[in-house]
Amino acid sequence: MIDFFQTSFSINKKQLLHPTDLQIVPNEFLVIMGANGAGKSTLLKLMAGLLKPSKGKINFENIDLTNYSAAELAKKRAVLSQHYQYAFPLTAKEIAMMGRYPFYNATPTVLDESIVCNAMEIMEVTNFANRSYESLSGGEAQKVQMSRVLAQMFTQNKEQKYLLLDEPVSHLDIKFQHQLLSIAKSIITPQTAVIAVLHDLNLALKYADRIIFMKEGSIIYEHKTSEDLPFALIKDVFGIDASLIEIPNQQRKLVVF
């Protein structure tokens, strides 16, 4: 469980997140949406422990997040960001193995090896395990990163784990977008939650259990995807008119701008 208690964050006197209360429990796919500069990434980075709250606090499993060391947090949550660029030749396998770094000391165990192989199989990147990361296309590279993050998410205990995705699909083609999000959705268990920052409202409506809409550093609306989306909200959050279209034979509706 992740609890925000009147958490705010400011940098250079500019308040990026106004005092916010938020609770995230396992077994849900939470999507954070909003226009650029609405504070989505700030919220996610606070959750990840990278940023420390300026005021208020965040509890992670009922303990103040700032009490965890980087090493402890790495065992409880994994983070996938938008894109990565390296100046060094690393193989896809070497990058995927980094997901197990928090769990082994000097050399990976047999279990670590099999977890990484498994993760790479799920992401369909086994074929280029030994290829240099630099030679991969944007989509392939992001899949390798996702397999790294999946390896980090693996657990045998019944402990709570969180997968944080910061605009994970922004530069991917449509097939990759759906593949990545449906795999993220598939790892949700009663102990696991996925929290993602997304830009595409239709993707969010398809995969999320709950969407929080942010504007100017505050959460202005929480939406359960089982309910109907209030129409006026879209204009308020994104500043653009939209229409909803019925999809034949499906419960959900499509948003068109």
Which residues are at the interface with other proteins (CB under 8 A)? 45, 48-50, 69-75, 77-79, 81, 84-91, 94-95, 98-99, 101-102, 130, 132, 152
Residue with smaller CB distance to other proteins, 7 or 41? 41
Q: What minimum distance in Å lies between the beta carbon of 166 and other proteins?
A: 9
Q: What are phi and psi of 62, to 5 degrees?
A: 65, 10
Residue with smaller CB distance to other proteins, 86 or 231? 86
Residues in the chain, how many? Answer: 257
127, 105, 128, 101: which is closest to 115 by C-alpha? 101
Residue with smaller CB distance to other proteins, 143 or 215? 143
Q: What minimum distance in Å lies between the beta carbon of 133 and other proteins?
A: 9
Residue with smaller CB distance to other proteins, 57 or 131? 131
Q: What minimum distance in Å lies between the beta carbon of 231 and other proteins?
A: 37
Determine contact, residues 22/219, Cβ cutoff 8 Å.
Answer: yes
Q: Which amino acid makes up residue 151?
A: A
Residue with smaller CB distance to other proteins, 24 or 73? 73
Contacts of 141 by beta carbon, 8 Å cutoff, 6+ apart: 83, 84, 133
Q: What minimum distance in Å lies between the beta carbon of 11 and other proteins?
A: 12
Contacts of 252 by beta carbon, 8 Å cutoff, 6+ apart: 205, 206, 225
Residue with smaller CB distance to other proteins, 78 or 201? 78
Alpha-carbon distances of 29 from 36, 186, 187, rounded to whole Å: 21, 10, 10
Residue with smaller CB distance to other proteins, 3 or 94? 94
Determine contact, residues 205/247, Cβ cutoff 8 Å.
Answer: no
Q: What minimum distance in Å lies between the beta carbon of 131 and other proteins?
A: 10
Q: What minimum distance in Å lies between the beta carbon of 203 and other proteins?
A: 23
Contacts of 207 by beta carbon, 8 Å cutoff, 6+ apart: 29, 31, 181, 182, 184, 185, 196
Q: What minimum distance in Å lies between the beta carbon of 34 and other proteins?
A: 20
